[in-house]
Structure 1
Amino acid sequence: MINISIVISVYNKEDYLKSTIESVLNQTYQNFEIIAVNDGSSDNSLNILKGFSDSRLRIINQTNQGASAARNLGIKESKYEYIALLDGDDLWLPNYLAEMVTSIQTFPNEAVFASAIANTYDDKIVPVSYAVKNTNTIKIIDYFKNSTYNYSLLTSSSIIFKKEIIKKTGWYDTSIVSGQDVDFWIKIGLNFPVVFINRVLVHYRFNDYSLSNTTFDPKYKPKFNNYTTQEINNKHLKKFLDVNRYSLALMCKLHDYNNEFSEYKNAIDLTNLKWRHRIFLQSPKWFLKMLLDLKSLKKEKVYYKALNRK
């Protein structure tokens, strides 16, 4: 029997948290514990957690230290071999755990498992685009090779891993406030392949006020300096890092962090970027803002700027 420790990091998620927890309790697979780490929420999140009477739910309170510290604490407090991560505002479809357990049983020698997700907005659900094109398949694949221009194979609500991988990856980097997941995925990709279910089993709920949509100071973002040695002989890692450097370079340009823009840009091998991305790197700020404003009309996730601000 496979038992799973579900680690949920919670910080001011009162508008979403009840349905997130319910999506776990309504799973067709029921062999789990829930560890909800309340990261110093100042809203009603803690009372919402206390409103659940399921004995499998444990609530741990800490002063606000960030998602990395919350996840690290939840993993340390877990009692089962397999760890499932879930953000306090996302949703699992009822068969998520059952299908993930099937993949674990099918590939018992692997350590990292993930599924496809869909982004959900107020008025629509949009499945994300992956490099793996065959839907309804389960494959063992390389993380970097399949997460470059398409959506990341791993997200903080669609991954289950053996707790023992921490011996190789190390813990979440608590010095990274926004983008800590990317850093952790890199450490996973350097050490483990991913068993990927190319079927939507998770709904990521877009939240204008999440850290990724409100934190633009590069000092809180990954620098990727820890991986300069590994990227020399790993072309897929190098391309993955360069695409992420490109994204952060644009963020820096849009928010007038000129020195950091140059730092990210100079580390990029431009041949790893698409032609339009090379043009965007050279484009003036006003042009980039115009493109983002046009894209935001679709009312979907837009990087580098906060949406719906007045």
Structure 2
Amino acid sequence: MKFSVVIPLYNKARYVHGAVRSVLAQSLPPHEVIVVDDGSSDYSAEVVQTITDPRVRLIRQPNSGVSAARNRGIAAATGDWIAFLDADDWYHPDMLAALKQAHEACPEAGMLGTQTRTMTNTLGDPDPWPVTDGFVEVEVVEDLRQRWMRTAPFNSSSVAIRTSLLREMGTCFIEGESHGEDLDLWFRAADRTLVAVVNAPFAAIRVLPDSLSRRTPPATPPEYLKRMRDAARSGEIPPERRRSALWFVGQQEVTMARETLGGGNRLAALRFLWDARYVAFTRRWQLTLLMALFMPSHAAETFQRWRLRSAEAFSPEGPVQ
């Protein structure tokens, strides 16, 4: 297997060297490492240029967003699989070997992934961690949305997709969007293929203070959810997955209703619940409606803390691992 690892880069000078080094140190060597510098204003690109390994390629472009950077890397890749790694994250030395194991367990799968672990330190790289006691389970996922509702089986730094599948899809990451653009691709790809997941953490995700996941809750649904609902209703999504697609969208809208309610935006919460009315028979939807209608404004802060504990399983990223 030839893995091209694509690393989008924007102002991560402190971390990118470690990310690239973790790929080069793989027990299954990568075919190439493509770093796409998306117009960094710090010295990120210069850090990459200090790496002399011929497998590392640096592509520079004006700032166009993470989706454009990933798409540029996909277009330049020459391997038969494309794996993704964010510039502040890190591969376990056996990450690519684990993906190969997933492929061998399910050769027909066009998407491979592993679980992840979280790094809270803002400096330095983690020491390689023991991930198993000798046995690694490979789970074959037929309906990724249904599986995602339980827990997120992988994320954008622990997934690989066949290059031929990405080429066939034409549109990969939707450019100009900054929320859910990765999920959009994962689900569209999974509608075309099985997914094989190694249920052990082979990538480390760094949680930074300026993480996008700490953003202000949106007042309108992200575009990828709107597209998913439209695709399910129009028949674009395979019939056997339409129900789970609508269920997924509805539950995400309930989650966003809770987020906006916790932020004090009662009207936006009610709009989200109206959009999710096709899951109105669920206890979660009904409880959220009651809170939106009757919860005193001064209780928002308390509810926000409770929401983080109780609703995380239905967040787009899945529960904290």
User: Under TM normalisation by the shorter chain, which class is it?
Assistant: 0.7 to 0.9
Q: Is the 8 A contact 1:72 1:172 kept in 2?
A: yes
Residue 242 of structure 1: aligned partner: 250
Give the alignment of 1:159-238 within 5 angstroms: 159-166=159-166, 167-168=168-169, 170-214=171-215, 216-218=217-219, 221-222=222-223, 224-232=225-233, 234-238=242-246
**CA deviation profile, 1:254-302 (whole Å, cap 9, x unmatched):** 55666654443222133575x35643454346434324457889xx9xx
Q: Mind listing any 5+ residue stretches in structure 1 that lack a counterpart?
A: 126-134, 305-310
Q: Is the 8 A contact 1:6 1:34 kept in 2?
A: yes
Write the distance in 2 (CA, Å) between the matches of 1:228 and 1:138. 30
Aligned mate of 1:270, from 257, 279, 288: 279
Give the alignment of 1:125-140 within 5 angstroms: 136-140=136-140
Aligned length: 287
Residue 132 of structure 2: aligned partner: none
Write the distance in 2 (CA, Å) between the matches of 1:181 and 1:214. 17
**RMSD between superposed Cα atoms in Å:** 3.0
Write the distance in 1 (CA, Å) between the matches of 2:228 and 2:281. 17
Residue 302 of structure 2: aligned partner: 290
**CA deviation profile, 1:58-87 (whole Å, cap 9, x unmatched):** 111111111111101100011111000111
Amino acid in structure 2 at the alignment position of 1:279 = L
In the TM superposition, residue 119 of structure 1 has moved relative to its aligned partner by 1.9
Q: Is the 8 A contact 1:12 1:41 kept in 2?
A: yes
Q: Specify the SS of the correspondent of 2:88.
A: coil
Q: Is the 8 A contact 1:169 1:187 kept in 2?
A: no
Write the distance in 2 (CA, Å) between the matches of 1:215 and 1:189. 29
Write the distance in 1 (CA, Å) between the matches of 2:21 and 2:209. 22
Residue 103 of structure 1: aligned partner: 102
Q: Name the stretch that deviates more: 83-92 or 99-108.
A: 99-108
**CA deviation profile, 1:10-54 (whole Å, cap 9, x unmatched):** 111123222211211111111420000111112221121112111
Q: Specify the SS of the correspondent of 2:145.
A: coil
Write the distance in 1 (CA, Å) between the matches of 2:258 and 2:300. 8
Q: Is the 8 A contact 1:168 1:191 kept in 2?
A: no
**CA deviation profile, 1:186-227 (whole Å, cap 9, x unmatched):** 212322221011011111111221223236445693352222
Q: Residues 59, 105 of structure 1: CA spacing in aligned structure 2 closer, same or farther, 3 A cutoff?
A: same
Q: Mind listing any 5+ residue stretches in structure 2 that lack a counterpart?
A: 127-134, 234-238, 317-321
Amino acid in structure 2 at the alignment position of 1:194 = V
Residue 117 of structure 1: aligned partner: 116
Whichever structure has more helix as a proportion of its residues is 2
Write the distance in 2 (CA, Å) between the matches of 1:114 and 1:145. 16
Amino acid in structure 1 at the alignment position of 2:164 = E
Q: Is the 8 A contact 1:250 1:281 kept in 2?
A: no
In the TM superposition, residue 241 of structure 1 has moved relative to its aligned partner by 1.6
TM-score by length of 1: 0.81
Write the distance in 1 (CA, Å) between the matches of 2:89 and 2:289. 33
Q: Residues 136, 21 of structure 1: CA spacing in aligned structure 2 closer, same or farther, 3 A cutoff?
A: same
Amino acid in structure 2 at the alignment position of 1:170 = T
Residue 29 of structure 2: aligned partner: 30
Q: Specify the SS of the correspondent of 1:202.
A: strand
Q: Specify the SS of the correspondent of 2:205.
A: strand
In the TM superposition, residue 152 of structure 1 has moved relative to its aligned partner by 1.8
